[in-house]
Chains A and B, each alone.
Chain A
């Protein structure tokens, strides 16, 4: 188990630059999740740590040792692939023991390690089978088993749950978390699924277009997103955004007026030059509807109601822009109804309209 340092790492494929000076410091035993949309460079970064892609610039340090020029086999890392990448002509035991056999470890030790891993993962009755005789979830476990038999410096996970159905994915997610608690190994996990990121991570690294947008605990990213990208990416249903302008200040506190004429009085502790353009963000679960909206609420039209069982996602419309609210419990509104909506000031996130960075 080791700490991993990524220092000013660049990556280009021919002329296309996919990573721009990425810095990331990972502690021993930490569970880091790299999250972002497709093509943001998260998988490339993981593959560079594994040694599957060359480092164009900067350096990667694992356990205090610069590994830029080391081939994968000398980095002592374990990786779980999205496709599992099991060896089809080897049994489950053969797949799990392959790395140990290559290291010429004593047969009895290998047997113990494989039996131990099979036990942890519930694969004990399947060790003599071949991958094609296993279900998707079982293959996923074998891929994990192959990683945990070797006590590597770190585990690398490349979207390991993407090929599973929703229920199995939830189950395996919980198992990965338990496994991490049990082994305490440094882990780097790549996903585009923000729920996986939120549930698994000690710290989340949100990436877009080859740069890190924010590093922080799941709560940090959810409660204080550093910019508009992170605000929009983390959270489901996604955050609502309204364009607004700062109005002449009122006793030193900012006043905001949105396009649709909503006014927010006195944002505490925020001073803004008048007429500055900005974006207001509010999470659907913080939007108050109907009775809860109370005094000063705006009228909006309900577009669509999507019940989720635990609650309902209510799509409503101010002027001509559609927004979403998450209403806990049963929603009695129907499409076309008029509904009172309130956006509580203390729940607002404010972002610069041009560069998207957080203002409050």
Chain B
């Protein structure tokens, strides 16, 4: 290979057509993928972004004109938006925290050998395979005292004074979709963490136990440093994903009661497809996009500094 490569360098091919062919070859191969991504993603994205600067209301035939930054001015003064933003932070933080913590514990349990581990691993993955829409409906029913057992159990345990639907309690409603989301999202963390755990060489743990480290110290000094890069990436992905994830909320509470479970993503959905105000929805979406990009950038920088230190 090296011999022929140096030969080509020494005697450049004189046929221009062949030279051109070689030069464009990689672009030709990647063209189908690039064209698909551009037509179904990039073009709609740009068109959608232009909506943010126009007045587009489906039910108003006279709308469609360019309005400059009007949509953003309206947004800056929109109390519902700020409530949704606050709810998004709570929804995302609580969901990611519990998904990660429980997923990691599950991964640690699945990482030690026991009889039936293969089946347990397959079962753990199962919630992931349930469509989010279905799991939202399921959980909504589980929380409903007419058909679901959870309120009755909570009452029997003394957590609740009487079996009520927490989804209709403004102070507790957000926990409904969060519980559903945690159940649904644990497999993602469990499987990612398990894969990372299994890549840690066993003899490093053995060396540490001979060096005098107990179980907790081994977790702190070996498991966590080994998992850190994976944790950072998984948390980043999940955070962006969950902040954008409106399915469960739309299905379970539709943002209510009194907008107490309205997150930005579900607010965009409602604005666009219920109120049919596409211009305003697009403006909200752009703000969310910018916020998530800033967040991702911060996490990537954090990860790079952590990796550089390691």
Interface on A for B, CB 8 Å cutoff?
Answer: 50-52, 71-73, 75, 77-79, 81, 83, 85-89, 98-99, 102-103, 130, 146
Q: Is the CB of A72 within 8 A of B203?
A: no
Give A79's nearest chain B residue, CB to CB. B210
CB distance from B77 to the nearest CB of A (A): 50
Query: Complex Cα distance A98/B207, Å?
Result: 10
CB distance from B227 to the nearest CB of A (A): 11
Query: Complex Cα distance A50/B207, Å?
Result: 10
Give B214's nearest chain A residue, CB to CB. A73
> Which residues of A lie under 8 Å from residue B171 when comparing CB positions?
none
Give A99's nearest chain B residue, CB to CB. B211
CB distance from A113 to the nearest CB of B (A): 14
Q: Does residue B209 face the partner (Cβ distance < 8 Å to A)?
A: yes
Question: Which DSSP category, helix, strand, loop or mixed, fits chain B's interface?
Answer: helix
> Which residues of A lie under 8 Å from residue B217 when comparing CB positions?
102
Q: Does residue B206 face the partner (Cβ distance < 8 Å to A)?
A: yes
Q: Is the CB of B214 within 8 A of A81?
A: no
Total residue contacts A-B, CB cutoff 8 A = 58
Q: Which of B203, B213, B221, B222 contacts A73 (CB 8 A)?
A: B213
Interface readout for B198-223 with A: 1 if CB under 8 Å, 0 if not?
Answer: 00010110111111111001000110
Q: Is the CB of B222 within 8 A of A77?
A: no
Query: Complex Cα distance A83/B201, Å?
Result: 10
Q: Is the CB of B211 within 8 A of A146?
A: yes
Given A52-B206, A87-B207, 14 more pairs with CB closer than 8 A: A50-B206, A72-B209, A73-B209, A73-B212, A73-B213, A75-B210, A78-B210, A85-B201, A87-B221, A88-B310, A89-B225, A98-B211, A103-B212, A146-B207
Q: Is the CB of B201 within 8 A of A102?
A: no
Query: Complex Cα distance A88/B203, Å?
Result: 12
> Which residues of A lie under 8 Å from residue B221 when comparing CB positions?
87, 98
> Which residues of A lie under 8 Å from residue B226 when comparing CB positions?
89
Q: Is the CB of B210 within 8 A of A50?
A: yes
Q: Is the CB of B213 within 8 A of A89?
A: no
Q: Is the CB of A72 within 8 A of B210?
A: yes
Q: Is the CB of A79 within 8 A of B207?
A: yes
Query: Complex Cα distance A79/B211, Å?
Result: 9
Query: Complex Cα distance A51/B211, Å?
Result: 12
Give B217's nearest chain A residue, CB to CB. A102
**5 nearest A-B residue pairs (beta carbon):** A99-B211, A85-B207, A85-B203, A73-B212, A89-B225
Query: Complex Cα distance A51/B206, Å?
Result: 9
CB distance from B221 to the nearest CB of A (A): 7
CB distance from B108 to the nearest CB of A (A): 19
Query: Complex Cα distance A127/B212, Å?
Result: 22
Q: Which of A52, A81, A86, A146 contacts B209 (CB 8 A)?
A: A52
Q: Which of B203, B210, B213, B310 contacts A83 (CB 8 A)?
A: B203
Q: Is the CB of A71 within 8 A of B211?
A: no
> Which residues of A lie under 8 Å from residue B207 when comparing CB positions?
79, 81, 85-87, 146
Give B207's nearest chain A residue, CB to CB. A85
Give A78's nearest chain B residue, CB to CB. B210
Query: Complex Cα distance A52/B209, Å?
Result: 9
> Which residues of A lie under 8 Å from residue B210 when comparing CB positions?
50-52, 72-73, 75, 77-79
Q: Is the CB of A81 within 8 A of B203?
A: yes
CB distance from B67 to the nearest CB of A (A): 54
